[in-house]
Amino acid sequence: MSRTDGSDPGTSKRLGYLLKHAQLRMAELNDRALAPYGIDGRELGVLLVLTGREPTSQLHVAQRLHIDRTTMVAVLDTLEGKGLVSRHPHVDDRRRNVVELTETGQDTLRRAIEASDEAERELLAPLDPQAARHLREALQAIVIPPDGRS
């Protein structure tokens, strides 16, 4: 379980411990929320990168999510097998694979976002809305570099 009873001040007040266990709790909630759509959090991340964009390369998606190329190919194989994405050679550079959401992928993504948003609300429920907003903003400041590239 990712929660602590707070009885160990040596760990339960450490930022690394708290961030790790908050992430584990978020993953638990998100996995449960996404299960009806047949995807996990990593697959949701890939679908999110692909949404609203021109078809993009596998390499771009891997770089954007900081996933190595081999793992990215495996994730895309899985998503393609589920009918959520399609891949085809780039028109101008046949060595490059282009990835895009299928119609089923777009529908799954829309529903999965709603479910994931609900999981986030559940995670943040112990906080008042202002504290939840501040937490999100603080984490964005840490995760997203000043140049805006992640």
For the stretch 21-35, pLDDT in tens is 999 999 999 999 999
Most confident of 68-72, 86-90, 95-99: 68-72
For residue 147, being part of any structural domain is answered with no
**pLDDT confidence of 56, banded at 50, 70, 90?**
confident
For residue 4, being part of any structural domain is answered with no
Higher pLDDT, 35 or 149: 35
Q: What is the CATH number of the domain that holds 88?
A: 1.10.10.10
For residue 112, being part of any structural domain is answered with yes
**pLDDT confidence of 1, banded at 50, 70, 90?**
very low
For residue 4, pLDDT beyond 90: no
> Using CA of residue 11, residue 14, residue 20, residue 23, what is the dihedral sign?
positive
For residue 25, being part of any structural domain is answered with yes
Q: What percent of the chain has pLDDT over 90?
A: 65
Q: Are strands 85-89 and 97-101 parallel, antiparallel or unpaired?
A: antiparallel
Any residues with CB less than 8 A from the CB of 61 and at least 6 apart, and which? 46, 49, 50, 67, 72, 76, 99
Q: Which domain holds residue 52?
A: 9-141
Average pLDDT over every residue of 55-69: 88
C-alpha span between 62 and 16 (Å, rounded):
26
For residue 149, being part of any structural domain is answered with no
C-alpha span between 106 and 84 (Å, rounded):
7
Number of domains in the chain: 1
For residue 92, pLDDT beyond 90: no
For residue 148, being part of any structural domain is answered with no
For residue 66, being part of any structural domain is answered with yes
Measure Cα distances from 140 to 91, 105, 117 in Å.
36, 27, 16
Average pLDDT over every residue of 5-29: 84
> Position 93: which residue type?
D
